Structure 1
Amino acid sequence: MENEIAITDVKDASRYEARDSEGNLMGFVDYKLSGDVIAFRHAETLPEYRGRGVAGRIATKSLDDARDAGLRVKPSCPYYQDFLKEHTEYADLVVAPQ
């Protein structure tokens, strides 16, 4: 199905990946896990998949996983900074700037 997007935490690569039903990489976010803080460093959607909500799906899955794991979030990448401003339901996860 064309709209199927699978979001997976590829722990060995320290990134979340979005793949379509055929296994094609659609987008990803790189992260760094330090103790109980996960820093989302770089999010990217491949050009041919832009405008389909891929980045938002990755962000939602990664933030839900962070919450489930009891992690705090450091949004180092501009996409996550903007996403978190719009999606205040995740505000409690964000590490205060130092």
Structure 2
Amino acid sequence: MTDDASQRPAESATGDPDVVRIDARSRYVIRVDGVTAGFSAFEEEPGRVVFTHTVVKPEFEGMGIGSRLAKAALDDVVARGLVIVPVCPFIHAYLRRHSEYAASVVEPRF
């Protein structure tokens, strides 16, 4: 995966963001016009997905990219019948605002 966001400003983004799960890297990646805009890292455990960290590149902030990434990732986890464990503060905050995921969330154990 190339990282060429610095070569293309966010203002030129015209396409819908595309979110893909990359199991080999344990992350969901969001791309805008083919440029990586951010990712959400996870650890998959039996029956659950632990979200550990989410990043949106500065040039893509304020565009709703993080929310689109979170929704796509969480929808994928739920569709696969797994439980969401929100260690990542961004994912945790997103879940507080979106009660539709409540039945699929387990609070992290520290």
TM-score range, shorter chain: over 0.9
Show structure 2 runs of 5+ residues with no match. 1-12
Give the TM-score normalised by structure 1.
0.93
- The 3-state SS of whatever aligns with 1:74 is strand
1:76 and 2:60 matched: no
2:77 match: 66
Counting only pairs closer than 5 Å after superposition, residues 2-17 of structure 1 correspond to structure 2 as: 2-17=14-29
Question: 1:96 & 1:10 partners in 2: Cα distance?
Answer: 24
1:34 and 2:51 matched: no
Which of the pair has more CA radius of gyration?
2
Q: Which residue among 19, 22, 37 is the counterpart of 2:31? A: 19
1:58 positional shift: 0.8
1:84 positional shift: 0.5
Q: Deviations over 1:53-84 (max 9, x none)?
A: 11111110111111110000100010011100
Q: Deviations over 1:28-73 (max 9, x none)?
A: 0000000011001000100000001111111101111111100001
Q: Percent same amino acid at aligned positions? A: 32
How many residue pairs match? The answer is 97
Give the TM-score normalised by structure 2.
0.83
Show structure 1 runs of 5+ residues with no match. none
Residue type matched to 1:19 in 2? R
Question: 1:3 & 1:36 partners in 2: Cα distance?
Answer: 34
Please say if residues 77 and 84 of structure 2, whose CA atoms lie closer than 8 Å, have aligned partners that are also in contact: yes
Residue type matched to 1:65 in 2? D
1:97 positional shift: 4.8
